[in-house]
Amino acid sequence: MFSSEQAVDWVRRTAAVIGEHATELTKLDAAIGDGDHGTNMARGFRAVLERLDGLPEGANLGAVFKAVSMALIGKVGGASGPLYGSFYLAIGRELGDATEVEDGAFAAALRAGYDSVVARGKAQLEDKTMLDALHPALAALDAALADGKDLGAALDAAEAAAREGVAATIPLIARKGRASYLGERSRDHQDPGATSSHLILGVLADVVNGR
């Protein structure tokens, strides 16, 4: 099961983790991007926290994720704003006015979020983007659930797959965003967007597993 309280917890703790890793994300981005991913994401998630404070007690899952999306799309600035904004908006749309859903329904919502990022960003796998963390993670999540594992165990598998996906971005040549203007020189750097996606999924696994 996944509840509104867990959703709020996921997002609040994500804001803290993004804040802690802001310098690292910015450093990764400075190597191949415009050097603002950490600052942008931290600013976006600070706006998310303000929005969450304005939500009524017991808000449903759709409302929680929509609030997250609206804060990110207006405040982040770079491509990660509308991309993560699309991710959370689609999750919220999928979950609607429920305040608690079954494991399978939550996994399907994450899948809808992923599909929305793909539709918006039009990146392919191995373009050195957040998809390179999200795609293997969701495949691992679905496989674990199909195997009869519970959501917590499945999300641990997803987190591990995302971590491997992040490492696998290092040798890739970027084909999207500012990094793509660098061509060959974008090699041998870890992608900041894949890194933040992994952080976000790691927090989710912790929340669902009660860690």
Sites of contact with other proteins (CB under 8 A)? 40, 43, 70, 73-83, 85-86, 89, 120-121, 177-178
CB of 156 to other proteins, least distance (A): 31
Q: How far is the CB of 40 from other proteins (least distance, A)?
A: 7
83 vs 207 by CB, closer to other proteins: 83
Q: In angstroms, what is the minimal distance from the CB of 163 to other proteins?
A: 26
Q: How many CB atoms lie within 10 A of CB 34?
A: 14
Rounded to an integer, what distance in angstroms lies between the CA atom of residue 121 and that of residue 86? Answer: 10
Which C-beta is closer to other proteins: that of 76 or that of 133? 76
Taking the least distance from each CB to other proteins, the nearer of 64 and 203 is: 64
Please answer whether residues 116 and 94 qualify as being in contact, where contact means their C-beta atoms are separated by less than 8 angstroms: no
Report in angstroms how near the CB of residue 176 gets to other proteins at its nearest: 8
Burial bucket for residue 106 (CB in 10 Å: 0-12, 13-18, 19+): buried
Cα separation, 65 vs 48, in Å, equals 10
Q: Which residues contact 187 (CB under 8 A, 6 or more apart)?
A: 171, 172, 173
- Residue placing its CB nearer to other proteins in the complex, 75 or 111: 75
